[in-house]
Amino acid sequence: MKNVQYALIASLLISSVCTLQSCKEDDKKEETPVPEEVVVETIEYKTFEKEHIAFGSGLKQTVEKTFTLHPTSKNIDNIKMFVILDCPDGDCNAWDVYANIKVKDKKADKWYEIGRYITPYGIDNSAVEKGFEIDVTDFKSLLSGDVELRARIETWGADGWNLTVNFEVTTGVPDYQYSAVTDVLMYDQWSTSGVPYGVDHSKDLTKNITIPSTSEETVLRTIISGWGHATPVDPDGRPCAEWCYRTHQIKLNDVATFDHVLSPLGCADNPVKNQAGNWTTDRAGWCPGMAVPVRTNTLDKSFAGHTVSFEYDYQDWVADGGNTSGNAGSYYATSCFVIVKSNSPIDPAVVSE
């Protein structure tokens, strides 16, 4: 009988040991994985290098090339783009002209404007240490691996510019690991291919934007600059659209939600000084020898998972057909993109007519 009791006790002890071991194994399975270690550093990537952009026989105003940038878009805190302008053989083009850099969205087969700038009158921009700085983090989903870039300068001389474009990628843990971008408006090919101002036109300024339900933050990124010297002039003698100060609006669901005020930027304080032209006089929201401002607007979180009507509404003004420069027309070169962000993989918003 004692032998039977001893065997029963031994069996219970073994069972308890096995149960404890099983618990330990279960605990191991439930342990939180060790977070990925993220190294915070800034890495420079060179793209266009003293690329000669000019106008004339055998010359190009637009250059497209493929470059290898950061291998992944994950753990990217920010991406800065720097635009450097040198004078070919010491002789820069005399005029302040429209210019931009675009990246190709290979899936959509479209070119997206990531930065716009205006060249200085007749000098380089070496007064700015690294060149014109533009934050392009919104396009990080497209700025990794093999990337196609397009550089354009609307110059009309054989001298033109030598263009260098560098990127600085700073790693870290961003607020949102994933993002996706879609075009809303892209009237930005040239200064005069923008939206005609003060006259009837056929440009489509209304869209429907369907925002993924998983979007934790949704922003609109807009760049706008005015061109032309159309009349009637404002009471202070300023013609449109380069010189006349205006406030344009983004309407969401027919409600004026964001104002874009094209007011003076203080051109005379530009560090790119002593330009060979009329560089100190304030334009409407831009200056010669400077990057054109990026206007970022964050949508209310309640829009996630819904379709929102969008309209870009230019302030009312009626052109009378005259001008102060001999060049007819008034235009707003305008690009607008919708960027959705999340800490899980996310598809772009859907933009429709």
Structure tokens at 247: 């406030």
Neighbours of 10 (CB within 10 A): 10
Residue pair 94/121 in contact by the 8 Å Cβ criterion = yes
Of 105, 154, 159, 188, catalytic: 154
User: Is 96 tagged catalytic?
Assistant: yes
Of 113, 183, 188, 242, catalytic: 242
Of 96, 124, 183, 188, catalytic: 96
Query: Count of residues for the chain?
Result: 353
Provide the terminal-to-terminal Cα distance of the chain, rounded to the nearest Å: 89
C-alpha neighbours within 13 Å on the C-beta side of residue 102: 23
Indicate which residues carry an active-site annotation: 96, 154, 242
